[in-house]
Structure 1
Amino acid sequence: MRPTSEFIREVIRACGGASKIAEARGVLPSAVNNWPLRRQIPADCCPSLEKLSLGRFRCEQMRPDVEWSVLRASGAEGFSRVDSGL
């Protein structure tokens, strides 16, 4: 199930707002503000949002369609081996 627009807005607020996320990701704030309209956060943004939200929102919540356990275990970009519990 896709996250609701309100859930995505909560994630954005918890991360310090669209401007802070945009600066951290190297995109325009308008791109971040479009996420609730599309009801989807780009998967490659989820690891940094998890960190910006201090773990309040996990990648698994933001994009349940992605196999995050595999990426965490592999130490993929954005995830350290500590993130995976290994």
Structure 2
Amino acid sequence: MDTLKTYLNSLAPPEQQDFAARCGTSLGYLRKAISTGQRIGESLCINIERESAGAVTCEELRPDVDWAYLRGSGAAANNETTGSEAAA
């Protein structure tokens, strides 16, 4: 959450509002989530990463989610590839 806070604080107030809107939420919600350590939903994490051009990553916002698997770079995804190649 520190990265999100730093990113938001680097933007001018109108840019903060615009960023939140592009992410599909409000600036108030983002500030509340940061201050309370609230768990942000996965889809919002994706929107934040996209709209921040990767400055704030999903992994930083929700380390409890296996983003590596979803990105196809995790051990489970690699084992599936290896397993299908071994069967071929």
Is the 1:14–1:53 Cα contact (8 Å) retained in structure 2?
Answer: no
C-alpha distance in structure 1 between counterparts of 2:4 and 2:23, whole Å: 16
**Structure-2 change in CA distance of 1:55 and 1:62 (3 Å):** same
Identity of aligned residues (%): 24
Please report the TM-score for the alignment, with normalisation by the length of structure 2: 0.57
**Structure-2 change in CA distance of 1:34 and 1:56 (3 Å):** same
Please report the TM-score for the alignment, with normalisation by the length of structure 1: 0.58
5+ unaligned residues in a row in structure 1: which ranges?
A: 74-86
Which of these two proteins has the greater Rg computed from alpha carbons? 2
The alignment covers a number of residue pairs equal to 68
Pick 1 or 2: higher relative contact order, CA cutoff 8 A, min separation 6. 1
Larger helix share, 1 or 2: 2
Tell me the residue number matched to 1:31.
Answer: 29
2:20 maps to 1:22:
yes
**Structure-2 change in CA distance of 1:28 and 1:61 (3 Å):** closer
5+ unaligned residues in a row in structure 2: which ranges?
A: 73-88
